[in-house]
Amino acid sequence: MTRRVHSGVVEEHPGSAALPASAQVVVIGGGAVGLATADELARSGADVVVLERDLLGSGSSAKPFGGVRATFSDPGNIALGLRGLEKYAQLHERTPGGIGLQRVGYLFCARTEGEALALEVSTGLQRSMGAVADVVSPARAAELNPLLDPSVLVSASFSPQDGYAQPARAVAAWAASARAHGARVLEGVEVLDVVTAPLDDPHVTGVVTSAGTVRCEHVVVAAGAWSASVGRMAGADLPVEPVRRQIAFAAAPAGLRPATGQLPFTLDLSTTFYVHGSPDGLLLGISDPAQVPGFRRDYDDSWVPAFEAAAAVVAPSLVGLPLHGGWAGLYENTPDHNALIGRSREVGGLVVATGFSGHGFLQAPAVGEVVRDLVLGREPELDVSGFPPERFAPTSAAPLLREVHII
């Protein structure tokens, strides 16, 4: 048994099991998606091995807080979000000490008539699918989050069922549950190649790793921002591009009510500036338009000018707050900023669950169920036909997704 502190959470890890010679399913990647999938597969009785080259959660899933929501504009994303919320509530209940789930709501702010109309349409669709969400006035938005300047808003949407959880706790919970149901979850094992045969109709037959070879019938690509290279190993084109995203904490301005842990996750649709309440203070971030794609994950303050320019308009009291606990991770972007989920048409036995473009934590629990069914040859309950991995191929007739609520 080893003890580690991960994003402030102390975790007990059983030592890694030995690499087996064969398994029914190999999951590549020990992040939220790979572990949620392994848990579902193991609970269904499948013989599953997770291979993580570093530590569990050390990819993008290790961030301090993860927003969970069903506030999307695409029905496929709404359905994954709703099921994710349900599954996170269950995981919180069944995990000793919970996963830090707090339903503080998401507050999306519109500053133009166009954004307000988009919010009205997507909120209506969310409600028709069973979500709890409403369009609210600028004054109500400022009551929910007093950091906002209501005079610059046209409207907002508020979805009280949404919130946040602690990814490190969720990752540890799935790993423990998967292991308890017989999965072998290995750290420090890198997949170097995916073996397929025969040449004219390839099907996965195994993986070559830094610790030896594993024969298998199915491979799940859950390698986050590194999925393009894993796809190439198998002969599948997975257009996933890494882009650094940075966040940091700040102490709330004096006298702020509600308490920071209860503030809704607040986003300015015009700039993607966001402020997120958490028990550790305000969590601040923005999609920095100057950030170039690449694998760098060092934290610096290059994002702060873009954040402060947006904050000066929407929430002026946030300008100049001292930042602490800064963290950089990778978004795993696809060309339309939506996930790649499905069986590969190019390679038999290869199932893809990647490219979540910044919403993989909230989608992981639902995607775990879907991938379980795809691997086991069942029809998934949720319709993921809008996310085919091959949709960007020049020969593909599948439409690209148009999602308005990308953060």
Ligand X SMILES: Cc1cc2nc3c(=O)[nH]c(=O)nc-3n(C[C@H](O)[C@H](O)[C@H](O)COP(=O)(O)OP(=O)(O)OC[C@H]3O[C@@H](n4cnc5c(N)ncnc54)[C@H](O)[C@@H]3O)c2cc1C
Sign, CA torsion 56/61/64/69: negative
Nearer to ligand X, 138 or 249 (CB): 249
Can residue 224 be called a binding residue for ligand X (CB under 6 A)?
yes
Q: CB of residue 101 vs ligand X: minimum separation in angstroms?
A: 13
- In DSSP terms, 134 is beta-bridged to 158
Please pick, from the candidates 275, 356, 366, 374, the single residue that binds ligand X as defined by CB under 6 A: 356
Please pick, from the candidates 202, 242, 360, 389, the single residue that binds ligand X as defined by CB under 6 A: 360
Can residue 359 be called a binding residue for ligand X (CB under 6 A)?
yes
What are the respective helix, strand and coil percentages of the chain, to the nearest 5? 30, 30, 40
Nearer to ligand X, 138 or 285 (CB): 285
Nearer to ligand X, 138 or 386 (CB): 386
Q: How many CA atoms lie within 13 A of 34 on its CB side?
A: 35
Residue partners of 330: CB distance under 8 A and separation at least 6: 59, 60, 224, 225, 242, 243, 244, 245, 295, 297
Nearer to ligand X, 35 or 141 (CB): 35
Q: Report which residue type is found at 28.
A: I
Q: How many CA atoms lie within 13 A of 256 on its CB side?
A: 23
Nearer to ligand X, 361 or 387 (CB): 361
Q: Report which residue type is found at 397.
A: A
Can residue 247 be called a binding residue for ligand X (CB under 6 A)?
yes
Binding mask 45-74 for ligand X (x = CB under 6 A): ------xxxx---xxxx-x--xx-------
Nearer to ligand X, 108 or 356 (CB): 356
> Is 308 within 8 Å of 235 (Cβ atoms)?
no
Please pick, from the candidates 26, 131, 136, 222, the single residue that binds ligand X as defined by CB under 6 A: 222
Please pick, from the candidates 23, 25, 27, 31, the single residue that binds ligand X as defined by CB under 6 A: 31
Binding mask 183-212 for ligand X (x = CB under 6 A): -------xx---------------------
Nearer to ligand X, 138 or 266 (CB): 266
Nearer to ligand X, 238 or 247 (CB): 247
3-state secondary structure of 365: helix
Can residue 403 be called a binding residue for ligand X (CB under 6 A)?
no
DSSP-derived secondary structure for 222-239: --GGGHHHHHHHHT----
321: how many CB neighbours lie within 10 A of its CB? 18
Angle of the 360-375 helix axis to the 167-180 helix axis, nearest 10: 20
Please pick, from the candidates 330, 347, 366, 384, the single residue that binds ligand X as defined by CB under 6 A: 330
Can residue 338 be called a binding residue for ligand X (CB under 6 A)?
no
Can residue 37 be called a binding residue for ligand X (CB under 6 A)?
no
Q: How many whole angstroms separate alpha carbon 63 and alpha carbon 9?
A: 12
Strand duo 48-52 + 265-268: pairing: unpaired
Which residues make up the interface to ligand X (CB under 6 A)?
28-34, 51-54, 58-61, 63, 66-67, 190-191, 222-226, 230, 245, 247, 329-332, 354, 356, 358-362
